[in-house]
Amino acid sequence: MQISVQSLSHTYPGRPLRPALAGLSFEIASGQFAAIVGPSGCGKSTLLRLAAALLSPSGGRLAMDGEPPQQAARARRIAWMAQSPALLPWLTCRANAALAVRFHRRDTPSRLTPEEALRRTGLADAAGAFPFTLSGGMQQRLALARTLLLDADLWLMDEPFAALDELTREQLSAELLELWQPLRPTVLWVTHNIHEALRLADRVLVLSPRPARLAADISIALPRPRRENDPAFQTLLAELHRALGLAAITGAN
Amino acid sequence: MSSGQRSSLVALVIVLIFFLAWEASVTLLHTPIYILPAPSRVLQTLGANAGTYAEATLITLGEALAGLFFGLLAGTLLASLLILQPGMEGGVMTLAILLKSTPLVAIAPLLTLWLGFGVAPKVIITALLTFFPVLVNMLSGLQRPDPALLDLFRAWQASRWDIFQHLRLPSAAPFLFAALKISAPLALIGAVVAEWTGASGGLGRIMWLAYSNLNLPFLFAAIFLLAAFGMILYWLLASLEHKIIFWSISIE
């Protein structure tokens, strides 16, 4: 799914003096994995909520394959994953996955069964377990299985692994990449972890402090899996650091 | 011994000490039986009139449970309606609070006047009494599911009905149990108070008769039964709660 953002602005009602987004513009090609980084509170999550049609923008335009987000959402072409795994605690893993099938995209039949999605995310043995018996990493795996079941064209991911420990986070993001590569949906991945952004994404969009504007747009052409000790990785890391520093200064003025 | 077993043992010991102290003080102070009968005397009365009490308990308990059922049903249905059809909450809640603020002691004789000495007015009073906690609790439960889950369902473009049945209703289950724990003892009180205003049977009727004749052992036997059944009802609800909303208890 191709995404086009044109002078997008958003101000929350009751806070007219602190717009979250002010004139944000960028384009993302279909199948691209785009990481969105920026200082905390800069409006990254607002951008994602606008894309999921959970919010309506106060100005500008957001288009998905030329259509407004509401339309893409109604066709159920969008998957949503956030920091909270958002599992139904009264349902087993299998039932949680099966529920997602109810909300599968409307134009095609589902390609995966809940069992298959659980197997691919390493949860085959936990199918009958309740979410509260699982570790945080396993819970996010279940959320990932649910995302897979939707066959969506766009994955909106708001720091899905931020609450996990470093080791689990790296492992899960590697697994996510493996699941993503054959399917190639467009991904908008919000993170404040720049190493993670560089390991995963085709492109890193750096946002300025609130109100968010595009401060830098860095393409990452490195083949995956990427190694942090690769000199090219280090160069990009330095560039990203510089961009984030710059972003902070521009925002302050 | 588990901590649960230990705490129920402690509770048992405390109750036992209470009754022993009661028994001892009444015996030592030679308290007249028309002021305060000893627990042993009360139990004796209970044993001697087992049939009468069993029948009365059955009537009162039946009224209380039927009232609780209707109150639960009405409260849950009304709360669901307010969620599925927003915009009516202000009006309906004003009516509900008005109903709640009307002293039931005043309504009970009226209902008896209209509907006679049978069980119907008792069930209505009990339902009116238990309805309000259920309505208020269910409404809060239905209104406030986990925001992260609400986001997910909205991102899925789930219909209002889907959100209701898959998210709001199960999320409200812990609130329902909280309401039931308040309403179940209220149901017994409702049934007894209603019987007090005129009934052909039941523990409230026995209490009223015993009170009129200053037959205090008879009165206390009824009180003992009510207290015991109130506690049993509460225990049943608590164990049902553990079985049904295990997921909520485990998260805490």
Residues B6-32, mean pLDDT to the nearest whole number: 93
CB-CB neighbors (< 8 A) of A88 in chain B: 149, 166-167, 170
Nearest-by-CA chain B residue for A152? B156
The domain boundary residue, chosen from A115, A131, A151: A151
Separation in Å, CA of A136 to nearest CA in chain B: 13
The answer to whether residue B250 neighbours chain A at the CB level (below 8 Å) is yes
Q: Are residues A135 and A211 in the same domain?
A: no
- CATH code, B221: 1.10.3720.10
The answer to whether residue B164 neighbours chain A at the CB level (below 8 Å) is no
Separation in Å, CA of B148 to nearest CA in chain A: 6
Residues A118-140, mean pLDDT to the nearest whole number: 94
Least confident of A46-55, A133-142, A173-182, B97-106: B97-106
In a domain, B15, yes or no: no
Asked if B173's CB is within 8 angstroms of A52's CB, the reply is no
Interface predicted TM-score (ipTM) of this complex, two decimals: 0.92
In a domain, B20, yes or no: no
C-alpha to C-alpha distance for A116 and A118, rounded to whole angstroms: 5
3-state SS assignment for residue A202: coil
Which among B150, B153, B154, B156 is the top mutation candidate for probing chain A, defined by the most A β-carbons within 10 Å of its own β-carbon?
B156
Residue in B119, B126, B117, B120 with CA at minimum distance from that of residue B70 = B126
- DSSP alpha helices (H): ranges in chain B? 3-28, 39-48, 50-84, 89-101, 104-115, 120-143, 147-155, 160-163, 169-196, 203-212, 216-244, 246-251
Which domain range does residue B52 map to? 38-251
Q: How confident is the model at residue A252 (pLDDT cuts 50, 70, 90)?
A: very low
Asked if B151's CB is within 8 angstroms of A73's CB, the reply is no
Other Cβ atoms closer than 10 A to A106? 10
The domain boundary residue, chosen from A135, A151, A167: A151
- CATH code, A163: 3.40.50.300
Q: Are residues A162 and A231 in the same domain?
A: yes
pLDDT of residue B45: 95
CB-CB neighbors (< 8 A) of A132 in chain B: 247, 250-251
pLDDT of residue B1: 63
Q: What's the number of domains chain A is made of?
A: 2
Evaluated on CA atoms A230, A231, A236, A239, the torsion sign reads: positive
Residues B174-183, mean pLDDT to the nearest whole number: 93
The answer to whether residue B248 neighbours chain A at the CB level (below 8 Å) is yes
Q: What's the number of domains chain B is made of?
A: 1
Evaluated on CA atoms B222, B227, B229, B230, the torsion sign reads: positive
How many interface pairs between A and B have CB atoms less than 8 angstroms apart?
Answer: 52
* Secondary structure letter of residue B34 according to DSSP: T
Average pLDDT of chain A to the nearest whole number: 92
Q: Calculate what percentage of chain B has a pLDDT beyond 90.
A: 75
Residues B59-85, mean pLDDT to the nearest whole number: 95
Which domain range does residue A114 map to? 86-151
The domain boundary residue, chosen from A151, A180, A196: A151
Q: Are residues A119 and A214 in the same domain?
A: no
CB-CB neighbors (< 8 A) of A73 in chain B: 155, 157
In a domain, B240, yes or no: yes
C-alpha to C-alpha distance for A242 and A252, rounded to whole angstroms: 15
pTM: 0.86
Q: Calculate what percentage of chain A has a pLDDT beyond 70.
A: 97
